[in-house]
Amino acid sequence: MSTAFDRSKEFSNDKLGKLRAAVSGVIPADATVITSGSYARREASASSDLDYFSVLPGDRPEPDPPDPQWLKPLDQAIVAIVPKSAAKDGAFNKAVEYSNDMLHNIGGSNDTNEKITRRVLLLLEGDWLYQPEKFFGLRRAILERYIQDTITDHQLALFLLNDIIRYYRTMAVDFEFKTFEVGKPWAIRNIKLMFSRKLLYASGLFSVAMTADAAYAEKIRRLEELFNLTVIDRMVALCGAAPMEKVLSCYNNFLEKLENASFRDHLNSLPKTARNDEQFRALKNEGHHFTRHILALFENTFGSVHPIRRAVIF
């Protein structure tokens, strides 16, 4: 009997194959197209939207250029395969980045929520839709920006770790803004914070921790290798299949619920006063168990004197 993992992986791979074939005819050779979210994680279903953005080489011209003419055909090619578009006010709505811009101003005044979202998700869950060699080259360049030869062997990659933590906390704060100030559906966002966003964060945290006491070049190599895996496969590689059983059981239940269109519609329809809704509360409670299982993994994987313990607190 197939699991939600199996079904979502098969569905995602099928769609990604079609998307890659479709977009290759409309994008210039110097650009790359990157996807993140459930398709990149191989966790998508028919109810999933597709997050993607394009990257052009060099610096963004000044003044800000108009949208490239190929952006509309690209969107049309994608919508023909994945009809559900990304949020119109989100980080992936007709987004075009420039490669040099993704390597600079990290933490600066121009490092907007959209930019940190694209950069960190490219690292932690991104995959290519066009020009894989450019995608992997950009991921490598971003890692080399975070981890330079000034770092000593015993140090954690704190620049990278702090940005992963910053992004995770930004998502939590954005949840309050989008659901309170903007009026976005709150229940499904709350559940995703409990499951997919948390597992993504854990995969980044655990990956950086595993590079302790490695030379800077080896830190980059290991992280590049880990980030080329999907989030689930990465956590299994880091922690082992047996220790991950409880985490994966909870996560499979989460995926099973979200592939049910009527369940997603139910969550999207809930007003903020319905926090005791039976279906929401059941999955929310499962999320608390999920959090405890990840915390146990952290405790068991990294001993009491491991530098990651101090780093995530101080």
88-132 pLDDT, tens digit per residue, is 666 677 789 999 999 999 999 989 999 999 999 999 999 999 999
Burial class (CB in 10 A: 0-12, 13-18, 19+), 162: middle
Asked which of 91, 114, 146 is the last residue of a domain, the reply is 146
Residue-level pLDDT at 270: 95
Q: Cα 244–250–254 angle (5° rounding)? A: 130
- The amino acid sitting at 312 is V
Judge if 86 and 168 occupy the same domain. Answer: no
- Nearest partner of 143 among 169, 113, 165, 163, judged by Cα: 163
The C-alpha atoms of residue 8 and residue 191 are separated, in whole angstroms, by 18
Judge if 171 and 141 occupy the same domain. Answer: no
The C-alpha atoms of residue 245 and residue 174 are separated, in whole angstroms, by 31
* CATH code: domain of residue 59: 3.30.460
Residue span of the structural domain in which 253 resides: 150-314
Q: Which of 32-41, 179-188, 244-253 has the lowest mean pLDDT?
A: 179-188
Judge if 275 and 167 occupy the same domain. Answer: yes
Judge if 174 and 106 occupy the same domain. Answer: no
Judge if 169 and 308 occupy the same domain. Answer: yes
- Map residue 192 onto helix, strand or coil: helix
Q: Check: CB of residue 264 under 8 Å from CB of residue 188.
A: yes
Judge if 164 and 139 occupy the same domain. Answer: no
Contacting residues for 249 by C-beta, under 8 A, at least 6 apart: none
46-77 pLDDT, tens digit per residue, is 999 999 999 999 998 888 888 899 999 999 99
Asked which of 78, 112, 146 is the last residue of a domain, the reply is 146
User: Would strands 32-36 and 127-130 be described as parallel, antiparallel, or unpaired?
Assistant: antiparallel
Asked which of 125, 146, 167 is the last residue of a domain, the reply is 146
The C-alpha atoms of residue 215 and residue 149 are separated, in whole angstroms, by 9
256-303 pLDDT, tens digit per residue, is 999 999 999 999 999 999 999 999 999 999 999 999 999 999 999 999
Contacting residues for 203 by C-beta, under 8 A, at least 6 apart: 124, 226, 231, 234, 235, 238
**What is the count of structural domains for the chain?**
2
Judge if 129 and 165 occupy the same domain. Answer: no
Judge if 135 and 170 occupy the same domain. Answer: no
Q: What is the pTM (predicted TM-score) of this model? A: 0.95
Backbone dihedral region of 152: left (phi > 0), alpha (psi from -120 to 50 degrees) or beta? beta
Judge if 174 and 132 occupy the same domain. Answer: no
Structure tokens at 277: 């809704």
Judge if 137 and 158 occupy the same domain. Answer: no
* H helices, E strands: number in the chain: 13, 4
